[in-house]
């Protein structure tokens, strides 16, 4: 039971990574400029060097803002991703927020924020505080913890709240990578596709991270030091992104009754030349197509709860094209959670579990 009675409603802040406001060079440049200058995202450069590199070279070139007559690579990809509803990440975020609020009822105030661009964390927190909520649950829409995602969200929330004269009770959700209801939704989405035995192999593809960031999570004492470091979760690696990803894979595979030889955990979206979490999804696909003659692959993306660039375009288009070049035929994507009623129910249930003591 709460130490003191709460007179206001329970605030809930759902936070995803972010998306450009439009698929235009200017909007993509703004998004990349904010995203890639976060010191938790690019963590191996001094602040001034990072600002100069991102705002002077990376963002202008990738967005195409340096050439107003030709969109850059990132802008073209967002143009492919965009739908009549706009960015899928933002659209589904808004729909989920509305439906979760309805499921939770009048005792809750639910707001959506993006770590980068809009709606901003600052604006969403302002709305919750204006509602005079008694407490705020910060719920990042990333099942696995990473410094560059959940850690960045938590830091920004604390930075903004530190400016307030009065700070309500705040609870920060770290991760929910093995939460049974979440796992069941991912597994059921695969079951909805039919007989899984028709696939030569199943890949669980997660967004990658540089290995240096993984090592920082345990002070460089476990990750890539101990053999089989991701084989189980312990006190030492409880906050390791890679270990949590492998745990998510095992939980979904167990739910589906898959034997370990039927699936691989891998990582995508590598940038630069540093070593990232391995194996790389693109390498796994190449091996299965070229060396094992695989024709059909099923791919989960359990680090993402909505359609986005990494799922729809990177896997669904770019990896599909490469797979065909290597002799494969088809990569089927397990549908994202998006606004699936089962995901809405699971999310509302997790929020209730996290806030039960606060509203008691």
**Binding-site annotation: residue ranges for Fe(2+):** 207, 310
Distance between CA atoms of residues 303 and 204, nearest Å = 9
Q: Which residues are annotated as a binding site?
A: 207, 310
Please enumerate in sequence order all residues whose Cβ is within 8 A of that of 268, keeping only pairs 6 or more positions apart, or say none: 205, 206, 207, 208, 280, 281, 282, 310, 314, 315, 319
Please enumerate in sequence order all residues whose Cβ is within 8 A of that of 167, keeping only pairs 6 or more positions apart, or say none: 161
The alpha carbon of 79 is separated from its chain's Cα centroid by a whole number of angstroms, namely 21
Distance between CA atoms of residues 328 and 297, nearest Å = 9
Q: Count Cβ atoms below 10 Å from residue 86 Cβ, excluding itself.
A: 16
Distance between CA atoms of residues 164 and 261, nearest Å = 53
Name the DSSP letter for residue 233: -
CB 270 within 8 A of CB 207: no
Q: Is the dihedral of CA 40, 45, 47, 50 positive or negative?
A: negative
In 3-state terms, what secondary structure has residue 230? coil
CA distance readout (Å), 128 to 90, 104, 170: 19, 16, 12
Cα angle at 207 between 337 and 58, to 5 degrees? Answer: 120
CB 266 within 8 A of CB 281: yes
């Amino acid at each position: 039971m709460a130490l003191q009675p709460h007179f206001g409603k329970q605030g809930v802040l759902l936070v995803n990574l972010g998306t450009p406001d439009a698929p235009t060079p200017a909007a993509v440049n703004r998004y990349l400029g904010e995203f890639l200058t976060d010191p938790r995202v690019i963590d191996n450069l001094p602040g001034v060097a990072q600002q100069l590199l991102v705002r002077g070279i990376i963002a202008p070139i990738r967005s195409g803002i340096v050439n107003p007559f030709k969109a850059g690579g990132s802008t073209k990809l967002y143009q492919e991703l965009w739908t009549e509803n706009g960015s899928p990440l933002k659209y589904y975020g808004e729909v989920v927020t509305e439906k979760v609020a309805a499921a939770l009822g009048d005792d809750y105030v639910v707001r959506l924020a993006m770590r980068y661009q809009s709606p901003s964390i600052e604006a969403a927190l302002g709305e919750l505080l204006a509602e005079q909520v008694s407490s705020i649950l910060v719920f990042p829409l990333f099942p696995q913890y990473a410094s560059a995602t959940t850690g960045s969200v938590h830091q920004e929330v604390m930075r903004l709240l530190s400016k307030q004269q009065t700070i309500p009770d705040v609870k920060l959700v770290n991760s929910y990578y093995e939460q049974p209801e979440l796992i069941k939704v991912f597994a059921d989405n695969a079951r909805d596709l039919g007989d899984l035995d028709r696939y030569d192999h199943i890949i669980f593809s997660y967004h990658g991270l540089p290995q240096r960031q993984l090592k920082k999570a345990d002070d460089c004492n476990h990750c890539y030091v101990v053999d089989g470091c991701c084989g189980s979760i312990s006190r030492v690696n409880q906050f390791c992104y890679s270990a949590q990803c492998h745990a998510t894979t095992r939980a979904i595979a167990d739910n589906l009754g898959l034997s370990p030889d039927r699936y691989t955990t891998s990582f995508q979206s590598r940038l630069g030349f540093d070593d990232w979490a391995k194996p790389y999804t693109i390498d796994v696909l190449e091996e299965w197509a070229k060396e094992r003659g695989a024709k059909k692959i099923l791919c989960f993306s359990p680090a993402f709860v909505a359609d986005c660039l990494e799922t729809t375009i990177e896997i669904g288009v770019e990896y599909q094209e490469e797979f065909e070049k290597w002799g494969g035929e088809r990569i089927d994507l397990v549908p994202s959670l998006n606004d699936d009623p089962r995901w809405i129910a699971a999310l509302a249930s997790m929020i209730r579990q996290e806030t039960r003591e606060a509203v008691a």
